[in-house]
A and B are shown apart, each in its own frame.
Chain A
């Protein structure tokens, strides 16, 4: 459930007081901010990184960096949005670091006879499941996770922040260091790629449900 405008305003005011007290040297005031915003930051971090371990690391790092940079926080800004942005930036760095580590471990990329790289998106299409497998929600979940993992860092960030977290385009553009128009295009590309990867599966599943053949 989305919080009401009044409760959002009350939280923002209470956050502003906690920030002021923290800056004045009351370290415990920061505890209030951490406890209040940890769940939201975790949700964003998990959706961006795709795993719990990295998400927890992102949450801790975001609040540590937030504390270190609190002096730069503009009094009128919203602390929740601000720490969210720090978390999104760190999650991008974490994903890049993870990719580098994985690419070092992985064997050279395989190309098929036509020279088309065997990327995760192609695998999703090639391994289109049979109707039996479609009934297994775990399999669908795996496909969706693969499709999300196949997005670029910017696409995944833009999609998570816009579609799941409801962030404004300007806010996402700030994290991606990009223009509003380029950010809108990134959201579009993300949805387009997800659609191409998942529609054959989701479409069949919906059809099976309509025909009553899905258990």
Chain B
């Protein structure tokens, strides 16, 4: 007789077994498996004796007393989710871009010469360059850390990538805003790299918090196949150069955009 696996017995005991009837049937006929289940149950029964302190009959009132002074007059509405700090940071960056672009536009309109139109574009671009450069740096670090993740112990069957997953969620929101801004600014090359990065960030953000080494390898391969780390580095480097240059010539800008479109 083929005995039940420990996994099946635990799933049965915890009420998550898929073939419950078949397991019950086997247990009725197999003394050895019944003994194994009893040993599991003995451990769980011992754990059930662990006490949870009783917080007291008026605990609910105490909690209310503690939190009431910290509550706003009215609870948050659905749109207030957009006022959460991390979203505010991303939205603030984009607002800064829009305001700066508007200011740049106001100044350049006064003269209306070809040189000033170029200068307006430069100002807009420089602001985008600084914000996106930082975002790409953060994304690169997260992807490198994820690629270097490994089980602490070779026997360990799962790798905890929850920290990277949460960072990917935050970066994803920023990435969407920067990609849209790059598209509006007509920087198709940057928008394209951000689009590819977004797909990778989406994969990581939607992964489970703990993955098997095989699942981690699949994520690593996806990152490698898309060559996203290389592209992010190339664009970051280029943005850095553009940021450092005090007065980038319009001709150079065009050539760098063309170069990036080739990446």
Contacts and interface: CB of A to CB of B under 8 A. Distances in A.
Interface of A: 22-23, 25, 27, 30-31, 34-39, 42-43, 46-47, 52, 56, 59-60, 63-64, 67-72, 117, 119, 137, 140-141, 144-145, 148, 152-154, 162-164, 169, 176-179, 182, 184, 186-189, 191-192, 194-195, 198-199, 202-203, 205-206
Interface stretch (B57-65, B219-227, B229-237): B57-65
A191 B75 contact: no
Contacts of B40: 191, 195
B108 interface: no
B42 A71 contact: no
A86 to B, nearest CB: 13
B42 A176 contact: no
Interface of B: 6-7, 10-11, 13-16, 39-40, 42-44, 46-50, 52-53, 55, 59-61, 63-64, 66-68, 70-81, 152-153, 157-158, 160, 162, 165, 208-210
A71 B55 contact: no
Contacts of A144: 46-47, 50
Nearest to B5: A188
B59 A140 contact: no
Contacts, number: 153
A38 B43 contact: no
24 contacts: A30-B75, A35-B64, A38-B63, A39-B59, A60-B66, A64-B70, A67-B72, A68-B75, A68-B80, A70-B75, A72-B78, A141-B50, A152-B160, A153-B162, A154-B162, A164-B48, A178-B209, A184-B16, A186-B210, A187-B11, A188-B7, A191-B43, A192-B7, A194-B44
B67 A162 contact: no
Given A38-B59, A163-B14, A187-B14, A23 B208 contact: no
A64 B15 CA distance: 33
A205 B61 CA distance: 42
Contacts of B55: 38-39, 42, 56
B80 A71 contact: yes
A34 B209 CA distance: 30
B52 A189 contact: no
A64 B67 contact: yes
A39 to B, nearest CB: 6
Contacts of A70: 75-76
A27 B73 contact: yes
